[in-house]
Chain A
């Protein structure tokens, strides 16, 4: 899907639920993946991801197309939701528990256990993510977007609504601080 097609889809998504669902299908994995890389916890990632898409649904009517992918906007919402989560851990997140499970062969509990097992296998990631999570949120955001989401400086600047130079210095200082965290452990 190129930018023009996406623009049309976003326009339709303001009137047609199916168009919104198409956008959701396109970006769910990317956004869920990003949140998981930030929180390293499947339960929290699911809840934050649900909040992110519900916020997107609530606010898509005022989304103005600026010739950049909708994913940037979704990343931004996800960042806010993650920040909210870190700010007040008691923050009541949307739980999908009460929603009846669509008829399907798969068992969500088993699926979650399997997913957790797979997550545990990424030891390097979990170890480094633990250190990143000890940094200030602004450093967590830039480091995750740059190294785990493989975003360019310009893209990070767009997502975070900051200037390129600010992102570069945040990244530099963030890595510096992360290095210190590893030293502290050793």
Chain B
């Protein structure tokens, strides 16, 4: 290897120049120069234009996809919160759950917060206590879809929504009974002779799904399935909260006495 390196280093190199070629090429380059100069000007303007266009496209993209949607969502929320009817719903425990913007119109979904949904058996509680009917209860629940005109900055329509209640299957009902029967918490708090009055499915969380130029309110796929089971023994009523997915009773509480 060393020999080869030495050979490479010591090789006598041709220092040849063809002056006629050098002169000819020089002449060609000088003749071409003015023509190329025009091209340089064109290309440099084109390059600046291309960069500027790219910059504008980037700004447009950022504005349309990041800045404007966030701004529009905030604006829609602000308009919705100014509406007295929506304000009232919020005061009753509703929250803005979802917003969709479609061509200068915003659709705002108002429904109870998730925590409150978990507390839904308060409906069951009332029902169990014979205070109100289930349907009436649901109407009280602040679930509504508001349509906002973004140009005029006003709420145009508020549509009340009855959250769909997905009833339990017989299999699910059996599973709930099985979970509660084997639950030490239930055995500890609720008398043995107490009867199951009702098994209630809490209303699902809703979301807005864009459909053409409008939206559809659909239940969100829930990660966990829950149920409330109401017991009665004499005048006393209890509620057990069951997590079907985990197969356990999460909470047992005394609801009160039924009024005569």
CB distance from B38 to the nearest CB of A (A): 11
- Most chain-B CB neighbours within 10 Å: which of A33, A57, A96, A104? A57
Q: Does the CB pair B28–A50 fall under 8 Å?
A: yes
Residue of A nearest to B4 (CB): A179
Residues of chain A from 14 to 33 with CB closer than 8 A to chain B in the complex: 14-15, 17, 20-21, 24-25, 28-29, 32-33
B-contact 0/1 string along A109-134, CB 8 Å cutoff: 00110010011011011001000000
Contact A106-B19, Cβ < 8 Å, known A128-B7, A182-B4: yes
Q: Which residues from A are CB-within-8-Å of B91?
A: none
The segment from B9-17, B124-132, B175-183, B247-255 found at the interface with A is B9-17
A-contact 0/1 string along B1-41, CB 8 Å cutoff: 10011011101111111111111111111101110110110
Q: Is A65 an interface residue (CB 8 A)?
A: no
Q: Does the CB pair A54–B32 fall under 8 Å?
A: yes
Q: Does the CB pair A96–B24 fall under 8 Å?
A: yes
Contact A119-B11, Cβ < 8 Å, known A28-B25, A61-B43: no
Q: How far is the CA of A28 from the CA of B29 in the complex (A)?
A: 12
CB distance from B175 to the nearest CB of A (A): 66
CB distance from A157 to the nearest CB of B (A): 19
Q: Is B44 an interface residue (CB 8 A)?
A: yes
Other-chain contact of B4, A17, A111, A175 (Cβ < 8 Å): A175
Q: Does the CB pair A29–B17 fall under 8 Å?
A: yes
Q: Does the CB pair A17–B34 fall under 8 Å?
A: yes
Q: Is A46 an interface residue (CB 8 A)?
A: yes
Other-chain contact of B29, A20, A33, A62 (Cβ < 8 Å): A20
CB distance from B226 to the nearest CB of A (A): 61
Residues of chain A from 35 to 67 with CB closer than 8 A to chain B in the complex: 36-37, 42, 46, 49-50, 53-54, 57-58, 60-62
Q: Does the CB pair A17–B7 fall under 8 Å?
A: no
Q: Which residues from A are CB-within-8-Å of B29?
A: 20-21, 24, 53-54, 57
Q: Is A2 an interface residue (CB 8 A)?
A: no
Interface size band for B: 35 or more
CB distance from A87 to the nearest CB of B (A): 23
- Most chain-A CB neighbours within 10 Å: which of B5, B8, B25? B25
Residue of A nearest to B15 (CB): A33
Q: Which residues from A are CB-within-8-Å of B13?
A: 33, 37, 122, 125, 148
Q: How far is the CA of A128 from the CA of B32 in the complex (A)?
A: 38
Q: How far is the CA of A54 from the CA of B9 in the complex (A)?
A: 32
Q: Does the CB pair A102–B12 fall under 8 Å?
A: no
Q: Does the CB pair B43–A143 fall under 8 Å?
A: no
Q: Which residues from A are CB-within-8-Å of B40?
A: 14, 60-61
Q: How far is the CA of A163 from the CA of B242 in the complex (A)?
A: 66
Q: How far is the CA of A53 from the CA of B32 in the complex (A)?
A: 11
Q: Does the CB pair B30–A21 fall under 8 Å?
A: yes
Q: Which residues from B are CB-within-8-Å of A124?
A: 7, 11-12
Q: Is A184 an interface residue (CB 8 A)?
A: no
Q: Does the CB pair A147–B11 fall under 8 Å?
A: yes
CB distance from B27 to the nearest CB of A (A): 6
Q: Is A161 an interface residue (CB 8 A)?
A: no
Q: Which residues from B are CB-within-8-Å of A82?
A: none
Q: Does the CB pair A57–B27 fall under 8 Å?
A: no
Q: Which residues from A are CB-within-8-Å of B44?
A: 61-62
Contact A58-B9, Cβ < 8 Å, known A96-B24, A178-B4: no
Q: Which residues from B are CB-within-8-Å of A112?
A: 18, 20
List residues of B whose CB falls within 8 A of some A CB.
1, 4-5, 7-9, 11-30, 32-34, 36-37, 39-40, 43-44, 47
- What are 14 sample pairs from A and B whose C-beta atoms fall under 8 A apart? A20-B30, A21-B26, A29-B22, A50-B21, A53-B25, A54-B29, A57-B29, A61-B43, A96-B21, A99-B28, A121-B14, A147-B8, A148-B8, A182-B4
4 smallest beta-carbon distances between A and B, as pairs: A61-B40, A108-B20, A147-B8, A17-B33
13 further A-B contacts with Cβ under 8 Å, apart from A111-B18, A124-B7, are A17-B30, A24-B29, A37-B14, A42-B16, A49-B25, A54-B32, A61-B40, A61-B43, A62-B47, A112-B20, A122-B13, A125-B11, A147-B9
